[in-house]
Amino acid sequence: MPQDIVPLKRALISVSDKTGLVEFAQALDARGVEILSTGGTAKALRDAGIAVKDVSEVTGFPEMMDGRVKTLHPVVHGGLLALRDDAAHQKAAEEHGIGMIDLLVVNLYPFEETVAKGAGYEDCIENIDIGGPAMIRAAAKNHGFVGVVVDVQDYDPVLKQLEVQGGLDLAMRKRLAQTAYARTAAYDAAVSNWMAGAIGMETPRRRAFAGTLAQGLRYGENPHQQAAFYTTGEARPGVATARQLQGKELSYNNINDTDAAFELVSEFDPADGPACAIIKHANPCGVARGDTAVEAYRRAFDCDRTSAFGGIIALNGKLDGETARAITEIFTEVVIAPDATDEAKEVFAARKNVRLLTTGGLADPAAAGTAFRQVAGGFLVQSRDNGRVLMPDLKVVTKRQPTEAELADLLFAWTVAKHVKSNAIVYAKDQATVGIGAGQMSRVDSTRIGRSKAQDMAEALSLPLPLTTGAAVASDAFFPFADGVEALADAGAATVIQPGGSMRDAEVIEAADARGIAMVFTGQRHFRH
């Protein structure tokens, strides 16, 4: 039977990440714990004046094959796996000179970091740990008697329990074992997913995903749902890698919406000028470019001032004081940008409920990646939607040719439509959205909603006509019937961008020609469910 408190007499320490190593080992040494170790870990401990015994000294077998073989030995695994209350196990250990190991401290070769640095295939292979996962799984299986530490964050809790109780209790060992198995699972997932990509397997027979807890959340989408935020270790700038400068903790919905906002604004290269995106419930309610950040923000805000209240604001460049002051004129949940000036930080410091995040850079919209979504009994996996349409990709299908300015607005609207829930319709004019229809079962309904929002803002801004008059319109997928184009024409649209590919494309083009609309096809769609 497992012991509640296991006294610590012998520990094996072999770590790649040596953060906090010396202090942890010194505390064990001060308690009279014998320390076994290997390679670079042993050297680091000896250099710190800590008594260490090499594993090779215990096994009677030298490290070999460039360190590939050092802990894969019965003396090590027997010391980890032997049941302390099983007479046969203890007799076998005595006969073969196997000493018990009460604590294993191992973190693995830095495989994920090696991949992230863009290392070649062979370097990545060499950074796949074998002995470490084997020992971790052995110790975790025998948690009835053995403690296993795989994260630096567990050093302090372990030392505190040793100080108070003289050993680790069963509850602690169970928690450590769970963390250990999750770590080896995440490690194997990282290796298998990297290898699938490296050898060109688009649909491997088995697929695994893993994450590390970033923070527990008060609740999920609704208060009765439990939730937490896990990160994958991907270095892509965004909400997962951002530094939160102020404000209360992000909620589940905040994180989801902030990710949507930053991914959208990252589509706009700062070299082409400032851009701002305002998101509500994962949908854009305003997106715009401007000569300055504050102009981009005000133009985005003027698309739908009502929905912007309590929204998420993302900028593609450094947040300045003037823009910060403009943003604080209404209630905003989160502001995210690559950076912020000291003046902007001071402005937000007076609004303690506003979360301010900086990312250090923009996400690359063209980068490859993997997206997955759970369904009952499984999950769907697809590549990230990194599709991009450039001017040469456009095919004009109507009699009227769009002007250069209209083409620029069409591409702007198309870029925004990629980030709007389907069915998506985006009206844009002069590099700013002026009406957005999102998430409707009918594309015509999305068309009408976008027009209605533009009409509401025309009244609020005392404009003679809604800005949909003369606007460019993007549709994330083709128009199945001519009624969609008719509805856009009724709204005053001048140009339309859509994928094309409907059985009734000819009818749709004919309707556009009849209303004097210029239409271009992209040959690419952007469903977003």
Burial class (CB within 10 angstroms; exposed 0-12, middle 13-18, buried 19+) of 28: buried
| DSSP labels, 127-157 | T--SHHHHHHHHHHHTTTT-EEE-SGGGHHH
Find, among 268, 364, 348, the residue nearest to 316 by Cα: 268
User: Which amino acid is it at 454?
Assistant: A
Place of tokens 């209404």: 330
State residue 1's pLDDT score: 63
Low-confidence ranges of the chain (pLDDT < 70): 1-2, 61-62, 64-70
β-partners of residue 312 are: 279, 334
Half-sphere exposure of residue 509, counting CA atoms within 13 Å on the CB side?
Answer: 17
SS3 content of the chain, % helix, strand, coil (to 5): 40, 20, 40
The catalytic residue positions are 141, 281
Whether residue 423 is preceded by a cis peptide bond, meaning omega within 30 degrees of 0, is yes
State residue 70's pLDDT score: 66
CA 196/CA 204 separation, integer angstroms:
7
Where helices occur in 199-312 by DSSP H, the ranges are: 252-265, 293-301, 305-308
Measured between alpha carbons, how far is residue 432 from residues 277, 303, 311, 428 in Å? 10, 8, 18, 5
CA 304/CA 117 separation, integer angstroms:
42
Token couple for 124: 């990545």
Find the length of the chain.
Answer: 529
